[in-house]
């Protein structure tokens, strides 16, 4: 397991978990629960299209349904940039070592870190000595 990163703010120090393979599997499973079924999502959207267009859309939806959601796929990458995805990531990063922190507390620390250290503060963090 990777050593935690150390986030030192003016008033407090936090340990930050570095995401690992298991975290990405967990995020992937969570993302799957939020993704609409490709076949269901096209129902009702085919009227007004030619038969050829409908066939193409249906074929694409069926292919998408058969394809597993992957960590490097565009759907998962888009999920990571949603409020739900970002919230899930920061929760994993903080709650591993501060399990009693609520998501509101985590966001408060996140905002303080951005204010004190900059938007990409995680990139500059070091591990414990």
Tally the C-alpha atoms within 13 A of residue 96's C-alpha that lie toward its C-beta.
20
**78-101: pLDDT as tens digits:** 999 999 999 999 999 999 999 999
Sorted by sequence, the CB contacts under 8 Å of residue 79 that are 6+ apart come out as 27, 31, 34, 35, 85
Beta carbons of 79 and 31 less than 8 angstroms apart: yes
pTM: 0.75
What does the angle CA 41 – CA 46 – CA 50 come to, to the nearest 5 degrees?
150
**25-65: pLDDT as tens digits:** 999 999 989 888 888 888 888 888 899 998 999 999 898 88
* Band of residue 129 on the pLDDT scale cut at 50, 70, 90: low
């Amino acid at each position: 397991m990777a050593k935690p990163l150390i986030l030192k703010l003016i008033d407090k120090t936090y340990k930050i978990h570095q995401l690992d393979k298991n975290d990405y599997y967990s995020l992937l499973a969570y993302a799957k629960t939020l993704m609409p079924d490709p076949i269901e999502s096209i129902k009702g959207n085919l009227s007004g299209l030619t038969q050829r267009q409908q066939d193409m859309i249906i074929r694409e939806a069926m292919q998408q349904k058969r394809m597993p959601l992957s960590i490097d796929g565009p759907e998962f990458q888009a999920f990571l940039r949603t409020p739900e995805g970002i919230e899930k990531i920061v929760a994993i990063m903080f709650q591993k070592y501060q399990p009693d922190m609520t998501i509101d507390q985590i966001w408060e620390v996140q905002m303080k870190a951005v204010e004190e250290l900059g938007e990409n503060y995680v990139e500059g963090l070091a591990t414990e000595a």
